Amino acid sequence: MKTQFAQRTTKETRDPITNLVQEMRIRNFSRKTIIAYVYYNKELLRFANKTPKEINRDDLRDYMDYLFNAGKSSSTVNLAINALKFYYEGIMQRKFFMPKTGIKRPKSEKKLPEVLSKIEVVNMINALDNIKHKLIIQILFGSGLRVSELIDLKINDIDFIRRVINIRQGKGAKDRISIISSQTLLNIEKYLKEYQPLVYLFEGHEAGEKISVRTAQKVVEAAAAKAGINKDISAHSLRHSFATHLLESGTDIRYIQELLGHARLATTQIYTKVANNMLRDIKSPLE
């Protein structure tokens, strides 16, 4: 009896966020999602200075208002809502986000993706001396990977015979393949001989350890600066550019959807708004 009471007490008095982490692990959420959901749930408790059982709808509204006043984007606030909804509705069984009476989501910002021309990408690659850094740009642009997928690439994910990249457990825990250029494959062979990584294609100072997302982002930012590109460029800009150039070259949008790993075609369709081939035949009234 004493042992059973001790076990029950430990479970009931542990950090309430532990239940959140356990539930996400059981559902096979990604490490990135777990970190984000834990962060926003802990931030809400600090903001309101309350326990989860004491949190009410007004606390959630005040926290959303605080995030917007702090300059957070609607996508960030929506991520916070996802985190709080998962915990308070999915685990605590509290209906704060009912369709008619609950907290509403902010309108998404309708921003077009920043797209680089092929010449700009070539200039970025040529501006770099390090073959490892060149390859980061080449794979992000030439294969359309997310930066998180890039750093997770392992050496045996590169299929030199079929000329494809195997992306393991990408966003949504899905495997997929993407294309890779013959020139990039040649550069990978040279890179492997020179750097001799053990596990990951792009390893840091510690053998067998992958580079960080921030390291990859810095490589892209440095390349853009050296190439004299005056745009707000990130690693994701190269993914946007990959999709846009494929669309402009006539690739079926459903193939692009598969290459990008988008669950919904509507997500891919944003590139139709920036694809230049759809505008070329329209003449300005001043022509």
How many helices (DSSP H) and strands (DSSP E) are in the chain?
Answer: 13, 3
Residues acting as catalytic residues: 146, 171, 236, 239, 262, 271
Locate 66 and state its tokens: 């605080």
Residue 3 three-state SS: helix
b/e for 61-77, b at 16 or more Cβ within 10 A?
eebbeebeeeebeeebb
On whether the CB atoms of residues 121 and 220 are closer than 8 A, the answer is no
Q: Is residue 235 classed exposed, middle or buried when 0-12, 13-18 and 19+ CB atoms within 10 A define those classes?
A: buried
User: In the sheet that 158-159 helps form, which strands lie side by side, from edge to edge?
Assistant: 158-159, 164-170, 174-179
Nearest CA-CA partner of 248 in 116, 128, 158:
116
Q: How many CA atoms lie within 13 A of 11 on its CB side?
A: 7
Give CA–CA dist 126/141, Å, rounded: 14
Q: Is 230 helix (H, G, I), strand (E, B) or coil?
A: coil
